[in-house]
Structure 1
Amino acid sequence: MHGCIQPSLAHQSKTSLAGGLLAVMVLLAFLAGCSQEAEKAEPKADSPATVAQSNTPPVPAEQPIPIQQQPQMAPLGQPSAPGQIPPPENAPSQYQPRTFARQNVESTAPRQRLAAPAPNQLQQPQAIPLKAQQAQPQFAPQMMQPEAMQAPPEFARSQPMAESSLAKQMPESKSEDPFDVVEVFYGTDRAPVVWPSGVLPHKFHALLPAVTCGLLGIAVALVLTRFKQYIISGLTLLVALSGAVVVGQEGWVQYQKFDRFLSNESIVYGKQQGEMQLGLCRVSIPKSHQTGSLESPSVIHWEFEEKPEDHVMLMEVKSKEEKEFFDMLRQRAAESPHNDLLIFIHGYNVTFEDAARRTAQIAHDLEFQGAPVFFSWPSQGELLGYVTDRSNSFWTASHLKDFLLKVHQQSGAQSIHLIAHSMGNRAFGAAIESLAADLDQNQKVFNEVILAAPDVDARVFTEEIAPKLTGMSQHVTLYASQNDLALKASRAVNGYPRAGDVGANILILNGIDTIDVTKIDTSLLGHAYYGDNKSVISDIYALMQKARSPRERKWLLDMAGPSGMYWYFDPQYNVMTQNPNAPPVR
């Protein structure tokens, strides 16, 4: 019996002990909650500092007090009395905001003066001092500035009118044109092209060669497919269509060009012989122009129209009477810094348009500020027109001589520079021989004369042209290249060495600086380096603009020839930057 009672007593003792502990914990939690509520409900002692701090919202220690938290000022027109602080925002309800109505100052009860809180160096000031309040008063929200500082109504009404009138007086800013325009003077003995009734043929005529080429290629390709020659048929069709695109692009550009000339009443000069005429051209040079380039519409870029902002384009051709022409030429030369002009004489396979564009491009690349002039003789502008061009180059000599003489006598220019290229040197040489007979011996007509790839018999040039040319010029420079395929073909046709040859037949004459450009000219034909090669253009610039001799041009090296000294370009010298360590310009 005793063994059964012991577990029951132990269980009861553990249960009573757990209940007692639970009751003690509940009692302690109740007493702790009551003590916290008593601390919250217990009021603190009132003091002036306590009242001031309780009415001021808490402000972070690192930021200045916003202006809205300053003590409220008296309404506009009734400032606070000196030495009196306005009541706090959280004042008792007895405080009523004032109205703008008139009140008796004597009947107004004085406000209760509160003691300022004790200053604390570790605490930011809770209110702005009275002096600062008086120096920066706040006004009603609807008045942003004092009435005395506001503009009068009359002036406020007239001010927008003044601004509008000022805006009218200001010129509207115009965006710069994407191209420059070069005015070029010309003389020519070409005959103008005249269309019946002044109307161009239909547009279909411009595309007729391209359509014919395409249809012919398709027909041949179909015939080849009947014989199961599919590869050859495909290649034939590809070549025919490519040729049609090229021919069509050229014909379409030419048609638009002639249509433009008819619309602005420009003269179009052809390839036939005519009477001597004078005039003025306008040529566009795009802002994106690269030195030595004649930008034109390209099939590769899918361009079927000339644009002045992209291409060197002949925009206008106007004929002038002789008196008007030389008056304009004289004025243009007089406006230049050096009162000079530049004459260009083109060579074989050049049209009037090509000569005008090349003259403008050279003048632009050389930064020539004088009057650019060119003489255009009736070249056929065709690769197979060499024989006709050779005949016309001698025929035009008398016209060129008269033109040069009139320019010398009537232009008023202090210096005349001249560039003659290829077959143009034949006409120029013949004109020099005739001109020397009409002028006094050793009379200087030209300043700088540049002979580029002269297609002239070397013996005729040495014995007949050079002595007269050096007597009429201050300085003569001859550029030649061994890579000139055009002169090699001319030598094969004429049977004699040319004045622009290099090698054993290089010309070295007294009074003429011969410069070999073989090492820097890498063009296909090697014949148009005077206007295409940047190094040659830079050398001409140093020659014309700065009058430097070959010894002063560091990119030129001397070489002993069969009959004297000549010069050649150093391929390791960058003429554009004039830096021997820079890579050469090709």
Structure 2
Amino acid sequence: MAGLRVPSRRFLLVPAILCPLTGCATRAEHVFQPLALAASDASQVDMLVATTRKPSRNPGQLYTGDRGTAISLNRIVVSIPPDRNRTIGKVQLPLLDRADPEKEFAVLDVGKVASEQQLLEWVRKNRNGKRQVLIFVHGFNNTYADAVLRFAQIVHDAGTDAEPILFTWPSRGDVFDYLYDKESTNYSRHALEDLILQATKSPDVADVTILAHSMGAWLTAEALRDIAMRNKTIPAKVRNVVLASPDIDIDVFRRQFIEMGPRRPHFTILTSTNDKALQVSSLLSGGVGRVGGTDPTPYAPVLKELGVSVIDTSAITSSDPLGHNAFADTPDIVRLLGKRLAGQSLAGGEVSIADRFGVSAANFAGTAARLAVAAPASVISPKAREILKRELSPDGGQIVDGQISY
């Protein structure tokens, strides 16, 4: 039919490639209702969640994968099963409507942050001695519940006492919706900028670390670039940025770096040439290598010039069929690094595990690198990954009834 374009065969093949690898698994439902009762010896993570998703009419879902018109803020408390009932780096999803906190991750409390005063109260209640904040931005193929439970697991297993803030953008949580997810990151870029700037303006925050995974790394790099170009600099409080398996064109990443200006935070990148999800993304992008799936050796001079630390995890055997979480889903490594972080703040020196685990380019500089390694890559669902580009910039606003209106 004249004028009708048939989708590229490359795009049609992606779900066929990824589904057998991931199993196209279903998710736990009704995570946020009914609320569970705390187990006596379970740990708890009290997090702030900012989202650009559309609210759901189902209280057990809380938010959908559709795009909202504002940033919604919630305080969520997640219970982590006792260590005797779980493996580091894993999330035990609830099997029934009501989770069992002894054996499963469970939501204990959900509250709306409906005013600036409530936000300030949460920050002051949860701040550590060094007033540190950890912002996590998830990747492709994640529901709201996926992002919340994974971030709770990261915070717990890393042993960090920084204030945990999750930014979750409108992912449909479906391997067939990678193009929708891609555009949703662009839709949410200004909202992430606003969150970062609000955090750095608070007198109760002195140090911000951003941990971003896969497609979320693209969103994070773009948000920081826009902040720098608009404000002539990135706030000094944003000291460290960790990009785990970033799905970004290597040339685009260099351009983003240049446009961030000379006063950039320290960047740490986790890469693997065995990342099948990023191989698919490269296929979709005309064969251009992704930052997270490329052998960093040829780019070493450029990365050194930019002040970037690279952790090549290609030598690590992963239980993840996509190889997307190869480094951090290895319990022995997570335990080792978790012990060094347990009970500590994010501040610290360097960690080198190259000799012990055969990981090349493992020069971990500063706090962000230590956190990246300890953050058990459960860093999100090991399904598929993504692509990038495009632009949408709504104007910022203030918190009203739990939302920051554009």
Q: TM-score, normalising length from structure 1?
A: 0.49
- Determine the C-alpha separation between the residues in 2 that align with 1:430 and 1:326: 26
CA shift for structure 1 position 181? 2.2
CA 1:568–1:345 in structure 2 vs 1: closer, same or farther (change >3 Å)?
same
SS at 1:369's partner residue? coil
- Determine the C-alpha separation between the residues in 2 that align with 1:362 and 1:552: 20
- Determine the C-alpha separation between the residues in 2 that align with 1:467 and 1:284: 41
CA shift for structure 1 position 446? 1.7
The answer as to 2:107 corresponding to 1:314 is: yes
Q: Per-residue displacement from partner, 1:87-139 (whole Å, max 9, x unpaired)?
A: xxxxxxxxxxxxxxxxxxxxxxxxxxxxxxxxxxxxxxxxxxxxxxxxxxxxx
Q: Indicate conservation of the 8 Å contact 1:530/1:537, yes or no.
A: no
More helix by share: 1
Query: Counterpart of 1:477?
Result: 268
Q: Indicate conservation of the 8 Å contact 1:479/1:500, yes or no.
A: yes
Query: Counterpart of 1:205?
Result: none
Query: Counterpart of 2:89?
Result: 292
Q: TM-score, normalising length from structure 2?
A: 0.70
The answer as to 2:170 corresponding to 1:378 is: yes
If asked which structure has higher relative contact order (CA below 8 Å, sep 6+), I would say 2
Query: Counterpart of 1:278?
Result: 73
Q: Indicate conservation of the 8 Å contact 1:482/1:518, yes or no.
A: yes
- Determine the C-alpha separation between the residues in 2 that align with 1:304 and 1:272: 23
CA 1:377–1:470 in structure 2 vs 1: closer, same or farther (change >3 Å)?
farther
SS at 2:173's partner residue? coil
Percent of residue pairs bearing the same amino acid type: 26
Query: Counterpart of 1:501?
Result: 293
Structure 1: runs of 5+ lacking an equivalent? 1-174, 196-257, 262-266, 560-565, 570-574, 577-586
Matches within 5 A, 1:54-203: 177-194=40-57
Matches within 5 A, 1:388-427: 388-410=180-202, 412-427=204-219
CA 1:367–1:549 in structure 2 vs 1: closer, same or farther (change >3 Å)?
same
Match of residue 350, structure 2, among 539, 543, 549: 549
Matches within 5 A, 1:250-265: 261=60
Largest Rg, 1 or 2? 1
Q: Indicate conservation of the 8 Å contact 1:188/1:277, yes or no.
A: yes
CA shift for structure 1 position 183? 0.9
CA shift for structure 1 position 469? 7.8
- Determine the C-alpha separation between the residues in 2 that align with 1:447 and 1:417: 6
Q: Per-residue displacement from partner, 1:491-525 (whole Å, max 9, x unpaired)?
A: 11122211112327764313111011111242211
Match of residue 160, structure 2, among 368, 371, 376: 368
The answer as to 2:307 corresponding to 1:511 is: yes
The answer as to 2:279 corresponding to 1:488 is: yes
- Determine the C-alpha separation between the residues in 2 that align with 1:318 and 1:530: 34
The answer as to 2:135 corresponding to 1:343 is: yes
- Determine the C-alpha separation between the residues in 1 that align with 2:161 and 2:197: 22
CA shift for structure 1 position 315? 3.7
- Counterpart residue identity of residue 53, structure 2: R
CA 1:552–1:331 in structure 2 vs 1: closer, same or farther (change >3 Å)?
same
More strand by share: 2
CA 1:390–1:542 in structure 2 vs 1: closer, same or farther (change >3 Å)?
farther
Q: Indicate conservation of the 8 Å contact 2:46/2:75, yes or no.
A: yes
Q: Indicate conservation of the 8 Å contact 2:134/2:209, yes or no.
A: yes
Q: Indicate conservation of the 8 Å contact 1:455/1:490, yes or no.
A: yes
Structure 2: runs of 5+ lacking an equivalent? 1-37, 365-372, 375-406
Aligned residues: 316
Query: Counterpart of 2:323?
Result: 526
CA 1:306–1:333 in structure 2 vs 1: closer, same or farther (change >3 Å)?
closer
Query: Counterpart of 2:229?
Result: 437
CA shift for structure 1 position 343? 0.7
Q: Indicate conservation of the 8 Å contact 1:350/1:379, yes or no.
A: yes
Query: Counterpart of 1:69?
Result: none
CA 1:389–1:316 in structure 2 vs 1: closer, same or farther (change >3 Å)?
same
Query: Counterpart of 1:331?
Result: 124
Q: Indicate conservation of the 8 Å contact 2:227/2:234, yes or no.
A: no
Q: Per-residue displacement from partner, 1:346-390 (whole Å, max 9, x unpaired)?
A: 000011111111111111111111211110000110111111111
- Determine the C-alpha separation between the residues in 2 that align with 1:470 and 1:357: 36
SS at 1:500's partner residue? helix
CA 1:286–1:433 in structure 2 vs 1: closer, same or farther (change >3 Å)?
same
Q: Indicate conservation of the 8 Å contact 2:225/2:259, yes or no.
A: no
Q: Per-residue displacement from partner, 1:240-268 (whole Å, max 9, x unpaired)?
A: xxxxxxxxxxxxxxxxxx5xx4xxxxx71
- Determine the C-alpha separation between the residues in 2 that align with 1:297 and 1:323: 33
Q: Indicate conservation of the 8 Å contact 2:81/2:101, yes or no.
A: yes
